[in-house]
Chains A and B, each alone.
Chain A
Amino acid sequence: MADGLRPDLAVIARAVEAGSRVLDIGCGDGALMAELVKSRDADARGLEINPQQVERCVARGLSVVQGDANTDLVNYPDNAFDYAILSQTLQTAERPDRMLDELLRVGNKAFVSFPNFAHWRTRAALMFGGRMPVTRALPVSWYATDNIHHVTVDDFRELAREKTARIEDQWFFANEKQISATAANWRAEFAVFELSR
């Protein structure tokens, strides 16, 4: 199952309970949604800002609304979903802290994945290069990137604590493979957290 899915999406696909109601925020081309519908019999909905991506999703039979996660989550009722998923989008939010509140309002649980800015490659690029890092995980230059709020694993843990969100589970990735949680703030290129409140 989950063949060909990005590793962070694959762990989410495995962790979602069968038959769940899911909102995928920033669902892209709908790869995760399609997997959740197929292998988890999920009632999956998506929110995506790029109209070409939305069109692709609708053309594959998925229910996806073109909209802006910064402003449009407010239209969803409380606890409308078992899971709200925000993959690789938190760092592009206008206010990641408020978006986390919204995730845990519309969903009973939330999955959040993001690139870890404290990965050793990023640190090395900044420390030795003295320039904003352009790495495998962060391939776009500072002036063109959508990532306006860079975040580290430890920063995210602290935000969850401030928001009184419980960390249900966490997964870390480097070189496209899952790694242990040991020194994740150094070693992880990407992180996935499962939260509840």
Chain B
Amino acid sequence: MANAPASQVITLSHPLPLDSGQELAHVDIAYETYGALNADKSNAILICHALTGDQYVASTHPITGKPGWWERTVGPGKPIDTDQFHVICANVIGSCMGSTGPASKAEDGMPYAMRFPVITIRDMVRGLVGMLDALEIAQLHAVVGGSMGGMQALSLAANWPERAARVLVIASTARHSAQNIAFHEVGRQAIMADPNWREGNYYADDASPDNGLAVARMAAHITYLSEEGLTEKFGRRLQNRDTKSFGFDADFQVESYLRYQGSGFTQRFDANSYLYITRAMDYFDLAEEHGGRLGDAFKGTSARFCLVSFDSDWLYPTAESRHIVHALNAAGAPVSFVELSAPFGHDSFLLEVPALDRVIKGFLDG
């Protein structure tokens, strides 16, 4: 893992209170912006990133050199039009791209590692709200997020209802299911079973738990794709060979692809961050935070909502979005919802789905 790159950083002026009852002192929030903020600061859109995302939504990733993770959606003339809007995307706390996380130094000058407090989605959003306060942005034109980003958007709408006029939630959920938690637990166990993990104290070592982190990524990556998509992309085709090796090399293209995804991921992500962020997602249950009724989470909201799901997403299937829509209906909130057809599974929100572009643009302009 390389050092954190040079985004703009805001250091929050106060310790951040956490849902666990603990506090996090000296919180840094690293963020990127695109497009000009208007004079009355009314054109800001906050984009919340997913589990392994970062603030580089529409600019080159400083470690991988790859384009921003949502460049197809964010930019001049694009569905989230930076000629019109001031787009802010911040690294969440617990992550590893410049915001305070387990790799950051604690008061004693040593990395937190597993001394970092367990955080929640609401804690991440509390950090983002602290950033908005520092930027003196009272109300966002919109908060937008896919997957874990959608959880943050929902959390902002429920807990800071005056901070966003529009809430766009894509391929997300109001709570993690047993299946969601189960897949995350596989990933965490893979990391913690890696001898290089050493109870999280690997930051000064020559080796980090890359093998465990790669396996975690491989398992998770399968959940982001659809069976149809995998079959179409790889089928049972062999990788650079005509016959099976009768061994345990990556005979199949799909194996080779997953290994590549896993090892590439370790170049840009911290294993402890992966533990903390997956935990935060597993703890997420918006209804539980509001007395057990999801509708109560949105009582009195004046924001407009739009939810989008994909028919091939089995990680956060359409039923999860409908569940949120029904709660918003019960709360009387103006809400749009559409299930789009796309073959790419959960990852559809990051890929070429023209109908998604039209929905995003229409909702943000309306």
What does the 1/0 interface line of B319-347 toward A look like (CB < 8 Å)? 00010011001101011111111000000
Q: B304 at interface (Cβ–Cβ under 8 A)?
A: yes
Alpha-carbon distance between A104 and B361 when the two chains are bound, in angstroms: 35
In the complex, what residue of chain A is closest to B329 when comparing beta carbons? A75
Check A58–B362 contact: CB distance below 8 A.
Answer: yes
Check A59–B362 contact: CB distance below 8 A.
Answer: yes
Q: A61 at interface (Cβ–Cβ under 8 A)?
A: yes
What does the 1/0 interface line of A49-69 toward B look like (CB < 8 Å)? 001101101111111111100
- A55-B355, A66-B339 as given contacts; A60 in contact with B334, CB under 8 Å: no
A28 → B minimal CB distance (Å): 14
Chain B residues with CB under 8 A of A72 = 326
Check A63–B336 contact: CB distance below 8 A.
Answer: yes
Chain B residues with CB under 8 A of A65 = 325, 329, 335-337
Using a CB-CB cutoff of 8 Å, which residues 121-142 of chain A contact chain B?
A: none
Chain A residues with CB under 8 A of B338 = 51, 54-55, 58, 64, 66
What does the 1/0 interface line of B111-143 toward A look like (CB < 8 Å)? 000000000000000000000000000000000
B346 → A minimal CB distance (Å): 18
What does the 1/0 interface line of A17-61 toward B look like (CB < 8 Å)? 000000000000000000000000001010000011011011111
- A66-B337, A66-B339 as given contacts; A80 in contact with B332, CB under 8 Å: yes
Using a CB-CB cutoff of 8 Å, which residues 56-98 of chain A contact chain B?
A: 57-67, 72, 75-77, 80
Alpha-carbon distance between A51 and B358 when the two chains are bound, in angstroms: 13
Q: B306 at interface (Cβ–Cβ under 8 A)?
A: yes
Check B329–A62 contact: CB distance below 8 A.
Answer: no
Check A43–B334 contact: CB distance below 8 A.
Answer: yes
- A43-B334, A51-B339, A55-B338 as given contacts; A61 in contact with B363, CB under 8 Å: yes
Chain A residues with CB under 8 A of B361 = 59
Q: B23 at interface (Cβ–Cβ under 8 A)?
A: no
Alpha-carbon distance between A57 and B334 when the two chains are bound, in angstroms: 13
A43 → B minimal CB distance (Å): 7
B84 → A minimal CB distance (Å): 14
Q: B109 at interface (Cβ–Cβ under 8 A)?
A: no
Alpha-carbon distance between A51 and B336 when the two chains are bound, in angstroms: 11
Chain A residues with CB under 8 A of B340 = 51, 55
Q: B199 at interface (Cβ–Cβ under 8 A)?
A: no
Chain A residues with CB under 8 A of B366 = 58, 60-62
- A51-B339, A63-B335, A65-B336 as given contacts; A58 in contact with B326, CB under 8 Å: no
Q: B352 at interface (Cβ–Cβ under 8 A)?
A: no
Q: B228 at interface (Cβ–Cβ under 8 A)?
A: no
Alpha-carbon distance between A76 and B334 when the two chains are bound, in angstroms: 12
Q: B365 at interface (Cβ–Cβ under 8 A)?
A: yes
Chain A residues with CB under 8 A of B322 = 67
Chain A residues with CB under 8 A of B326 = 72, 75
In the complex, what residue of chain B is closest to A66 when comparing beta carbons? B338
Q: B286 at interface (Cβ–Cβ under 8 A)?
A: no
Q: B170 at interface (Cβ–Cβ under 8 A)?
A: no
28 A-B contact pairs sorted by A residue (CB < 8 Å) = A51-B338, A51-B341, A54-B336, A54-B338, A55-B355, A55-B358, A55-B359, A58-B306, A58-B338, A58-B362, A58-B366, A59-B361, A61-B365, A62-B336, A63-B335, A64-B336, A64-B337, A64-B338, A65-B336, A66-B337, A66-B338, A66-B339, A75-B325, A75-B326, A75-B330, A76-B329, A76-B330, A77-B330
A-contacting residues of B (Cβ < 8 Å)? 304, 306, 322, 325-326, 329-330, 332, 334-341, 355, 358-359, 361-363, 365-366
